[in-house]
Amino acid sequence: MKNKKKPGRVKSALLNWLGVPISLTDGGFWEEWIGTSSSGKVVTTDKAMQLSAVWACVRLLSESVSTLPLKVYKRNADGSRELAKDHPAYNVLCRRPNSEMTPSRLMLMLVASQCLRGNAFIEQRMIGRKLISLNPLLPQNMKVKRLDSGKLEYTYTENGVKRLIPAERMMHIRGFGLDGICGMMPMMVGRDVFGAAMSVEESAAKIFENGLQNSGFVSAKVPLNDEQRERLRKYMQAFVGSKNAGKIMVLEGDLSYQNVTMNPEAAQMLESRSFSIEEICRWFRVPPFMVGHTTKQSSWASSVEGMNLIFLTNTLRPLLVNIEQEISRCLLGNDDDYFAEFSVEGLLRADSAGRSAYYTTALQNGWMSRNDVRRLENLPPIEGGDIYTVQLNLIALEDLKSHNQATKAKAITELHSYLFPDIPVEQSPLKQAA
């Protein structure tokens, strides 16, 4: 017998063919285009976000990136840089992307879309050749196709209406992928992992719903007919569930009840839930302790600064570099003098001791001035703060003797001027005593 398609799946395929946006909660659509996980769960973005680990990972990544200052710089001929406030992209990236969003909200949505759907799409709105706004688009409504000419074609469906967006007006930030056209969708590639986590969570919820009791059975000394058995089953339903715990059960006619208990630890329920969290964190490349999953033994760094450094290097840096280079390619043109960069120093602001040591080293070695430090701390500049200073303690050994003699002579001269102002320094008694 041939397998027949489910009506919901046929309807979803028809609506997709007609160009009508499909809701992410439409199970038929996801069964047809993504497939059901091995655990029997249909994995969608909305359902995956109901898992605490997925919610925590996506929030951690998107909110961490959105709090980092993003600036557009111009590279000078001497290798230094300055803020490119006169560039059109500076206003839309650093001040107001569009009439409804702040830069932080735009970056939050961009990273969340990349984490959940593998791609983020931002349309550039222009007046003539001037960039005026950046509008994020929903990845689930976008279709990307490579034409015979080699160019990419972007088709966006909104309210049942399709429109083509020129590739030069699209900023497409791709996640990890293999074809170079689109990033791979985590919900599709890892549907078995997310589906298993959903099954474990549902099983745990059912156990608590039943008051940590799996099931039970009623025994009778005499046979029961179908009517008596059905009436007894309905009566027993009044004592099932955690909300009915403590109720007194009355059995008659030599009936006895025996419950079947299940130890969650013996069933490895707790271990399964813990392993699901670690698996999800592995997919998002997030250290488990950063989403509240801690163990007695940990191989991660012991200090907050070390943890932040690991998170910045292994997790955030690939995201930041990807976004920076896409901004340079799409918004800054072919001019290599302009570039966009995130300021990652904000991640280490909570460590006052480490920040103080960093500034001290910079000031003592002369590669930062006091006003440079004050700008990083959002303090106003001071007079004379632009002077770069270094310590004089570190000198060559062969210059140590002459340095000591010069220092001694200077000290004698200053002391003589103070004690014997009327006597020439050449006739100073201090020199004779020395």
User: Which of 226, 261, 296 is the C-terminal boundary of a domain?
Assistant: 261
> In the prediction, which pLDDT does 29 show?
44
Q: How far apart are CA 431 and CA 389, in angstroms?
A: 33
Answer for the pair 254, 302: CB distance below 8 angstroms, yes or no. no
Q: Which two tokens stand for residue 326?
A: 């896409």
Instruction: Identify whether 226 is part of a domain.
Output: yes
Beta strands in 322-387 (DSSP E): 338-342
* CB-CB neighbours of 290 under 10 Å: 20
Instruction: Identify whether 252 is part of a domain.
Output: yes
Classified as helix, coil or strand, 127 is: strand
Residues in the chain, total:
434
* Segment 81-107, tens digit of pLDDT: 888 888 888 889 988 999 899 999 999
> In the prediction, which pLDDT does 173 show?
92
Q: Which two tokens stand for residue 28?
A: 């038929």
Instruction: Identify whether 152 is part of a domain.
Output: no
* CB-CB neighbours of 64 under 10 Å: 23
Number of independent structural domains in the chain: 3
Task: Assign 3-state DSSP to the chain and report helix, strand, coil percentages, each to 5.
Answer: 50, 15, 35
Q: How far apart are CA 28 and CA 35, in angstroms?
A: 9
* Segment 276-306, tens digit of pLDDT: 888 888 889 898 888 877 765 555 556 666 7
User: Which of 203, 232, 261 is the C-terminal boundary of a domain?
Assistant: 261
Spatial CA neighbour of 117 closest among 25, 189, 66, 178: 189
> In the prediction, which pLDDT does 300 show?
57
**Residue that is written with structure tokens 């839930």 in the block:** 273
* Segment 121-159, tens digit of pLDDT: 999 998 888 889 999 999 888 999 888 888 899 999 988
Instruction: Identify whether 242 is part of a domain.
Output: yes
Model confidence, pTM: 0.67
Q: How far apart are CA 224 and CA 68, in angstroms?
A: 71
* Segment 370-399, tens digit of pLDDT: 888 888 776 788 888 888 887 766 666 666
Q: How far apart are CA 40 and CA 235, in angstroms?
A: 32
Chain mean pLDDT for the chain:
77
Spatial CA neighbour of 244 closest among 211, 267, 216, 275: 211
Instruction: Identify whether 109 is part of a domain.
Output: no
Instruction: Identify whether 89 is part of a domain.
Output: no
For residue 256, give its domain range: 213-261
Instruction: Identify whether 425 is part of a domain.
Output: yes
Q: Tell me the Ramachandran region of residue 211: left when phi exceeds 0, alpha when psi lies from -120 to 50, beta otherwise.
A: left
Instruction: Identify whether 373 is part of a domain.
Output: no
Lowest-pLDDT range, 52-66, 345-359, 369-383? 345-359
